[in-house]
Amino acid sequence: MFKKTPVAASLVAAASLLLITGGCSATNTGKTAEAKPAAAVPAKVDYTKMTPAALAEYLVLESDGFDLKQPTQEGTTGRHRLTQDEIQKACSLGKGKEVDDKTREKVMALAAASIKYPEGGIKLGDWKKGRELAWSGYGFRTAHNPDDHVKGTPGGNCYNCHQLATDRTGGNIGPALTGYGARGTSPDMLKYTYDVIYNPHVYFACTNMPRMGAVGVLNQQQIADIMAYLLDPNSPVNKQ
């Protein structure tokens, strides 16, 4: 897990306080006398005086827009899920914006520091188990229909974005990995594949791909199983 920085949230809170004391809320200006008792308007902060970034942060974390106390499967709360860590913050790029060199270096260093390797070295697991994990999108969903990790094992979600074996239709947000095993199983290739599943930002700063190992969606054994699905010559990924 990464350290969450509460700095932005407190900045927004401070800004809101200033606005309260400043008075003159635009949310009041259009109110008719008749609508007054409805009191549907929390006239505390003036949205029009905030930057878009500050207002977004306020709406997500301070405005009672989300169930911030909602329990999560990992024992935290909704607030923790919504509070950005350093990589999430650095990679929240706007329209058409690409990550700059300084940010890229920082993100890659943070990612490298997050990766933990198996004690006995990286080995391939069971491709059949890996196949099921690669297909499964179960786990860690909360909102109106929380996933129950006692009833179902969280999966790797790989097929949502990648074409793997051709017996199932995968997405195309990520590159197709059909025939991935042709890359071989040298120590370098094992490490590369492990790293990309564990925390892909180490090679691809600000990629869309989740950090399956670093955030604890997949454990080391599960990563080994998915690696076997990708690299084992007997896996359907490599039997075309």
Binding residues for another protein, rule: CB under 8 A, are 26-32, 34-35, 38, 40-41, 43, 47-48, 50, 52-53, 55-56, 59-60, 63-68, 70, 72, 74, 77-79, 81-84, 87-89, 91-95, 140-145, 157, 159-161, 169-173, 208, 210-211, 215, 217
In the complex, minimum distance from the CB of residue 186 to another protein, in angstroms, rounded to a whole number = 29
The residue assigned the tokens 């054994």 is 221
Q: Which is nearer to another protein, 214 or 224 (CB)?
A: 214
Closest CA to 195 of 172, 212, 175, 183: 212
What is the C-alpha separation between 133 and 21, in angstroms, rounded?
A: 54
Closest CA to 82 of 68, 92, 70, 93: 68
In the complex, minimum distance from the CB of residue 94 to another protein, in angstroms, rounded to a whole number = 5
Q: Which is nearer to another protein, 10 or 28 (CB)?
A: 28
In the complex, minimum distance from the CB of residue 240 to another protein, in angstroms, rounded to a whole number = 19
Q: Which is nearer to another protein, 116 or 188 (CB)?
A: 116
In the complex, minimum distance from the CB of residue 9 to another protein, in angstroms, rounded to a whole number = 12
What is the C-alpha separation between 11 and 9, in angstroms, rounded?
A: 5
Amino acid (1-letter code) at residue 177: L
Q: Which is nearer to another protein, 208 or 234 (CB)?
A: 208
Q: Which is nearer to another protein, 48 or 219 (CB)?
A: 48
In the complex, minimum distance from the CB of residue 48 to another protein, in angstroms, rounded to a whole number = 4
Closest CA to 221 of 202, 238, 198, 204: 198
Cα 70 to the center of its chain, rounded Å: 18
Range 206-212, long-range pairs (CB < 8 A, 24+ positions): 206/87, 206/90, 206/91, 206/93, 206/99, 206/103, 206/104, 206/107, 208/161, 208/173, 208/174, 209/161, 209/174, 210/157, 211/87, 211/111, 211/114, 212/156
Phi, psi angle pair for 136, to nearest 5° = -75, 130
In the complex, minimum distance from the CB of residue 204 to another protein, in angstroms, rounded to a whole number = 12
Q: Which is nearer to another protein, 82 or 189 (CB)?
A: 82
In the complex, minimum distance from the CB of residue 89 to another protein, in angstroms, rounded to a whole number = 8
Q: Which is nearer to another protein, 46 or 225 (CB)?
A: 46
